[in-house]
Structure formats: C-alpha cells, structure tokens
A and B are shown apart, each in its own frame.
Chain A
Amino acid sequence: MTIRTESLVHRYGDSVAVDGVSLAIDDSEFVVLAGANGSGKTTLVRHFNGLVEPDAGEVSVNGRSVPENLVAARTAVGMVFQDPRDQFVAATVGADVAFGPENLGLPRPEIDRRVSDALDAVNMAGRDDERMDELSGGEQERVAIAGALAMRPDHLVLDEPFTGLDAPARDAVVDRLESLHGAGTSVVVVTHDVRDLLAVADRVVVLSSGRVVVDETPDAAVEQLEAHDVRAPRRC
C-alpha cells in the first residue's frame, strides 16, 4: 500500500514544476510535504490521483500505474483541495459527502453508512442537512476531509489545509488527522508552515525548485527547514 514516484517530471511550458522526484510513501505514514510557494508541492500531489499526467517518470499507487488505473488511484488516494469550496458539488453536507461513494456505484445503505462514518470521523455527525454556505471555514475544511474519507482511501492528501483557519480550527483539523492516522490511514499534508504538524508527523519531505532537498524525521528535518523558506517552530 504505497504511493511511489520514480524520476517524476512535470513541466508547465518551459518551467519545470517537478524535477525528477523519486519518493515512496508507505501506508500508515504521516508525511508533511513542505516547501516555499512554487516549489512544486501541489503539482506533485496532483499526480498521486492522476489529476495531471507526468511529462516523464512514473507514479504508482499500491503497485498500479496511476495514469493507467485512474479509478483505482482516485479511490485509494483521497484528495482535499486548498480551497475546500472548490470541491463542493452539492448544497448540503450529506449530499456532498455522498458524491464520491455515489460515483463508486455503491448501494444506498452503504453510501449512507459511509457518509455517517465520514462525518463522525471529522466531528460533524448528524449535520447532514446543513447548508454548505452556512458553515464556518473550519467546518468546511472538515466536510471536505469527510468527502475524501467517504471514498475509504488508503491515503489522504491535504493541500494547505490550514489556509484561513484560526488556531482552534487548525487544532481541530490536526486532531482529526492524528486520529485518522492512528486508525491506519496514511496522511500527506502539503504546507509551507509545518509548525502544527511536527509533533504528529513521521517524516518531513521538503521540495525546492521541484526537487526533494530534505527527507528526514521531524527532529532531523527541523534544523534544515528555514534554509528552504519553510516556517519552523521557534526554538526555546
């Protein structure tokens, strides 16, 4: 159960966003993917569920090539976008979380069960009928996570999940991620600010100009973060 990239290259015109990245993320790992703006983090994770195609190299999920097995990749890798509003396709919480399972063609009782479990996992149980546009930013983020969880992914990828959230909402999201990780889901968080995550992560990968420049445990990585424009915790 691994996300694996091998010499992955992605270009936008003449600019190289991902430059020969080889990386393996095992199941049950909690990985922080950090880097400055424009370092290629978002482009890299978009390859994990086939939202973009590589210009060179390979990407596979659970041993199967992503471009050749899109449905399997998108089922195995749940994606939460930087702006959760981008991924809302329905007007109410329950209908939106059900979107993914419906696309899998599951029977209605199973869809209802998954929606209920996913909302429970993000502390939003019983709020199926609430309107999306009436939720706070933190609640929208948690519904977006629930939408991905309802696919029962092996890996959950979150792109800048703390953007615009206040401290309590950030803590709530970190708590949920920690418990999901504890339950066996591998978590990949893309961020340029690792302060909330060092205590819970197993591994920190830093990208710079599309290349992996740090791949260490949090303790070993912390000294190298500032050099790559990643905000690290203040030292006592």
Chain B
Amino acid sequence: MLTYRPGDSLAHRLDPRTKLLVQAAFAVAAFAHTTPRGLAVFTVLTAGFLAAGRVSPVDSLRGFAPALPFVVLAPLVSVVTVSPPGVDLGAAVDPALASYRVLLVLLVSAVYLRTTPVRDSRAAVERLVPGKAGRFFGVGVALVFRFFPVLLADLRRVREASAARLGDQRSLRDRIRIVGTAGVRRAFARSDRLALALRARCFAWNPTLPDLRFSRRDYPVLAFGLLLVASVFV
C-alpha cells in the first residue's frame, strides 16, 4: 500500500492542489496522446515526476501490484481470436499502448500518494470542491487513506494466522472464503471502533485544516499542467 513518506523533495514542497491538478492534467493528456511517440514523451515526464518526488518506480509498481495483472492481461486477451480460432499479435498493439498509459498514470499518482500527507489531501479536496460535497469527499479521502492500510494489515494477519494452522493447504476457493469472511468481520468490528473513537474525539465535518498556500514554486508547475491540458487540443 502506497502511503505518505516524509521528505523534502520538490514534490513534497508543492501545494497538494497543484499536485492534484497536474496529476489530473497528466491523465487527460496521456489518454489523448495514444501514439508510441506520445507515450515515449509521457514516459520521460513520468520519470521526471518520480525524480521530483524521489519515489522509486519499483516500489510504486509493488504498491499497485493488485492492479498489475489487469494491466498485463488486457493485451494478452486481445491477441486471441475466436472466429477463426487463433492468435493475432497485431491486435495486441492498441491494448498494450492503453495498458502502458494506465501504468504511467498509476506511477504519477504514486508520486502524489508518497509526497502528500492525508490531512493535506483532505484540505486540498475541500478547497477544490466547494460546499458540503467537498467536505464529504474530503472526509472520504481521509478515511480511505487511513483505514485502507489498516484493513490490508488485518487481512494479512488473518491469512498468516490461517496458514499457521495449515489453512493454506485448502483450495483457493476455501481460502478466499475463510480469509474474506474473517476479514469482513474484522473490518466491521474495526469500523465500529473507529466510529466510536471519532465520536470520542469530537469528530467534526468542518475541522481546522492545514493552511494551504501556493508558493512561487507552484506556478511553473501549474503552468506545466495547463500546457498538458492544452496539448490535448493540438
């Protein structure tokens, strides 16, 4: 699971709104430029983003491991033709480019996740989306970022404890059922405890959030984001 790591890289020092906007611009532009040459340019940009956040591409891919099989499978499935039965390697080109595009977008989002504290993300979302919807999204983002790693750790412990009593010798279906059921049970118990703890600490929908200020270093990055969006129309 990719989570925030403190640091002093350029990406760490940018306003989270800048990072969200540039990330969105990158995704839009990457989906507009689908040629190999376009993706080559976006590969260089992705490397730049990773360097700006001092984020390892290998660690990032590891963090997205559950999504990777889908990224790889799409081109593989597309080479199989049903009628007539056979393999058409040419059919894999477009899905492979699309998958690669998704991979680049994931890597750029990893830079955001690694360099932005959860509270800053919540503040950024609440400032970008006004009103109750923003507060709702902000709380949702904060809870997901904080709660999801805890749930993953729970699932890991349940799986490990099951293996200690030879649960790993069972069929895949049984293992999914056992770990899934125990995981859901623990998730509900944790949710109850989290709700109680939030109430005990006076949970509020409109708490004092971190001050966010654009600085001089944000403007060139925002301008670069605008360029990315503009490139869609070129």
Contact = CB atoms under 8 A, between A and B. Distances in A.
A86 interface: yes
| Chain B interface main SS type | helix
Contacts of B160: 51, 86
B165 A100 contact: yes
Contacts of A83: 157
A185 interface: no
B164 A103 contact: no
Interface residues of A, number: 22
Contacts of A86: 154, 157-158, 160-161
Contacts of B161: 79, 81, 86-87, 89
A8 interface: no
Contact of A104 (B162, B166, B186): B166
A194 to B, nearest CB: 24
Given A88-B182, A89-B178, A89-B182, A151 B165 contact: yes
Interface in B144-190: 154, 157-158, 160-167, 169-170, 178, 181-182, 185-186, 189
A116 interface: no
A100 B161 CA distance: 11
Nearest to B182: A89
A191 interface: no
A155 interface: no
B162 A74 contact: no
B169 A103 contact: yes
Contact of B167 (A85, A91, A103, A148): A103
B215 to A, nearest CB: 33
A71 interface: yes
B65 to A, nearest CB: 17
Interface in B183-208: 185-186, 189
Given A85-B186, A86-B157, A88-B182, A51 B164 contact: yes
A196 B162 CA distance: 29
Contact of A51 (B154, B158, B163, B185): B163
A49 interface: yes
Contacts of B157: 81, 83, 86
B133 to A, nearest CB: 37
A100 B182 contact: no
B177 to A, nearest CB: 10
Contact of A89 (B167, B169, B189): B167
Contacts of A100: 165-166
A71 B166 contact: yes
A147 interface: yes
B169 A87 contact: no
B166 A148 contact: no
A43 interface: no
B169 A99 contact: no
A69 to B, nearest CB: 12
Interface string A7-19: 0000000000000
B186 A103 contact: no
5 contacts: A86-B157, A99-B165, A103-B165, A103-B166, A151-B166
Given A51-B160, A103-B170, 16 more contacts: A51-B164, A74-B164, A74-B165, A75-B166, A87-B158, A87-B161, A87-B164, A87-B165, A88-B182, A89-B158, A89-B161, A89-B178, A89-B182, A99-B165, A103-B169, A148-B165
Give 4 closest A-B pairs by Cβ, nearest first.
A87-B161, A103-B166, A100-B165, A79-B164
